[in-house]
Chain A
Amino acid sequence: MLARQVKADGETRYDYSGVEAALRLKAQPGCEASVFVLVLGCAKEAVQQVREAIAMGADDGRALDLSDQAEPDAAAFARIFAEHVQEEDFTLLLSGSFPLDADTAATGLLTAVKLGIPFVSHVDSIQHAQEGTALTVVRKADGRVQTLSVSTPCLASVLPHPEAPVYKTVAGINRAYAREIELISVQCEGSSVRAEVRGREKAQGRKRGRLLTAVSTDEAVRQLIAEITEQHML
């Protein structure tokens, strides 16, 4: 699972590092993980970024609309993320290094505290655990390189790797735009989070076919011919 934050007037490329790290981990031999993306931000942009992550290879995602929240801070973001992931069965939470929390880089740490799980910052790479539940994590900070063993579930904020981007595939794009994306409106007041399902953003893919039932063979043929004539196929 991985958390990202977006705002209406732009996106933070830092957060792509979280998506890319999750997909690199998923691609490691023997790793049978699925990647779920949680995006917090204005509705349209959040849905768009869930689709982008699916196009890159994520399995599923959810958009959290924060349009009604007045000037949220890192603590509010953390409460919202924690609220939405604590009921889920996850092994690893990933975020970018500097999510849009006024550059405090505190959202990840505060979310981990809220969930009561370990937190590792400045993660350069993650190695899938062949046995057991601990992950091997390489951390780069303050000019030092550390290799750590971290028990799961945990939360890691990941450094960007612009030299090795993960591209969207055609199959991923088709998948991303052929499905509905769940959109949940959220608000954070004090220590409580209020969430309300706003609906599902419609699929953008090709027109789906329709099943002809309870019609005679002649009628089915007539409707088929009418359809393909309209499509200029006859």
Chain B
Amino acid sequence: MDFQLSERRQALQQAVREFAEKELLPGVIERDEKSEYPLELYKKLGSMGYVGLPYEEKYGGSGGDYLDYALCVEEISKVDASLGISYSVAMSLYGGSIYNGATEEQKMEFLPDVFSGKALGGFGLTEPNAGSDAGGCVTTATKKDGRYVLNGLKCFNTNGPLAEHFAVYALTHPELGQKGLSLFHVKKGTPGFTIGKIENKMGIRAAQVSELVFENCEIPQSALIGEECTGFKQAMKALDGGRIGVAAQGLGIAEGAFEIARKYLMTREQFGKPIYRNQHLAFKMAELECEIEQAKYMVYKAALDKSEGRPYTIPAAKAKLVCTNAAMHVTTEAVQMLGGNGYMREYHVERMMRDAKITQIYEGTNEIQKLVISGALFR
């Protein structure tokens, strides 16, 4: 076992950290307040090769692996979790869906723009009555004159208003329930496809989340990814990868808040001494440090399992559960440790606390992760 990142990975981590501190940190509070997505900064990341990290160069990627990608999501999320999730969705959910199931010709057509960071990708699975239970989907894809006609509504789609490319799951065989789901690539601007309500959220406010509305939206047969009725499996596989991204996002949020709290405890003086000299706070920080380190090893292991071809469904679920719980716990404690200042926007930790909450919910709630983990225990 080797718990040390290679020098190359450390350089990658350091480079993204430098970018995040210099480019993402200024303006992160304003973007949160105004719900503004930093699209130009995302494109800049793409131009330096950080967006398509885990995918091959021929598809616009950088030829790295999933641990490289997780490190990148982590570093971005230390500063701006909104960009972290937008990036994760484009790579893991859109990218994973298309990459895993598409033909070579489809990959060459649908991936390079997204993997090079020139465009964002979105993922349409959730519906008003199909959240944790993807089998509740009612969006249909009906075959007509050699084309598919999409009808239905997808909700909570990260990158929805901004993405150029979408992976959309719809029922080609409604009578089969979730087994009748199929995966399609849909391009922005396709007639019959519009963006619905844009959500006003508690956290990750700079990320753009919306409904996708399909009204007699005709797409060619060549937009089908994989075979008909394989959509559910493809979605679950993409979500496994997505959970590694969200775990890395949670880890980054926890680390970002922890570092703000650590510096605060060293500089804030009460009763004539820095407040870290109060053993209660110092011990609390020691516990949080252990929680973060535990989370880090979990997500790095899951990412390496995926990179090296080992099964990663369970490690990804464990990492998502542990990292996102760490995010919620550490940010809540950080707000408390900063006292009144922690409640104020300029100190960042209140935003991180709001951002942390959604990580326990999306890409499969943490209750679903426990279902996945316990399911493997009692097979």
Contacts and interface: CB of A to CB of B under 8 A. Distances in A.
A67 B371 CA distance: 58
Contacts of A173: 8, 11-12, 15
14 contacts: A52-B11, A167-B15, A167-B18, A168-B48, A169-B48, A170-B50, A170-B62, A170-B64, A171-B49, A173-B15, A174-B62, A174-B64, A177-B11, A232-B309
Given A52-B11, A231-B309, 20 more contacts: A165-B22, A167-B15, A167-B18, A168-B11, A168-B18, A168-B48, A170-B12, A170-B48, A170-B49, A170-B62, A170-B68, A171-B62, A173-B12, A174-B62, A177-B6, A177-B8, A177-B11, A178-B8, A232-B308, A232-B309
Contacts of A174: 8, 62-64
B153 interface: no
B347 interface: no
B7 interface: yes
Contacts of B6: 177, 204
A50 to B, nearest CB: 12
A2 B48 CA distance: 23
Name the residue among B11, B19, B62, B309 with the largest chain A CB count within 10 angstroms.
Answer: B11
Interface residues of B, number: 20
A233 B50 contact: no
A55 B53 CA distance: 15
Interface string B159-187: 00000000000000000000000000000
Nearest to A163: B22
Interface in B292-311: 308-310
Contact of B7 (A168, A177, A232): A177
Q: Is the interface of B mostly helix, strand, loop or mixed?
A: loop
Interface in B5-28: 6-8, 11-12, 15, 18-19, 22
Nearest to A228: B309
A171 B64 CA distance: 10
Contacts of B18: 165, 167-168
B305 to A, nearest CB: 9
Interface string A192-234: 0000000000001100000000000000000000000001110
A234 to B, nearest CB: 8
Nearest to B50: A170
Contact of B310 (A52, A168, A177, A232): A232
Interface in A56-111: none
Contacts of A38: none
A233 B309 contact: yes
B309 A55 contact: no
Interface in B48-94: 48-50, 53, 62-64, 68
Interface of B: 6-8, 11-12, 15, 18-19, 22, 48-50, 53, 62-64, 68, 308-310
A167 B11 CA distance: 11
A176 interface: yes
Interface residues of A, number: 19
A167 B68 CA distance: 17
A51 B11 contact: yes
A231 B50 CA distance: 26
Interface string A31-57: 000000000000000000001100100
A204 B7 contact: yes
B55 to A, nearest CB: 12
Contacts of A167: 15, 18-19, 48
Contacts of B8: 173-174, 176-178, 204-205
Contacts of B64: 170, 174
Contact of A55 (B15, B62, B63): B15
Sorted from nearest, which 9 A-B pairs have the closest CB atoms? Answer: A170-B49, A177-B8, A168-B15, A170-B62, A233-B309, A169-B48, A204-B7, A232-B310, A232-B309
A233 B310 CA distance: 7
Given A231-B308, A232-B308, A232-B310, A169 B49 contact: yes
Contacts of A204: 6-8
Nearest to A203: B8
A51 B49 CA distance: 18
Nearest to B53: A170
Most buried by B among A168, A176, A204, A205: A168
B281 to A, nearest CB: 31
Contacts of A165: 18, 22
Contact of A176 (B11, B22, B48, B310): B11
A167 B48 CA distance: 8
B90 to A, nearest CB: 16
A172 B369 CA distance: 38
A25 B310 CA distance: 46
A17 to B, nearest CB: 15
Nearest to B22: A165
B22 to A, nearest CB: 6
A33 to B, nearest CB: 21
Contacts of A169: 48-49
Nearest to B64: A170
Contacts of A233: 308-309
B369 to A, nearest CB: 23
A55 B62 CA distance: 14
Contacts of A231: 308-309
Nearest to A176: B11
Nearest to B48: A169
A204 B19 CA distance: 23
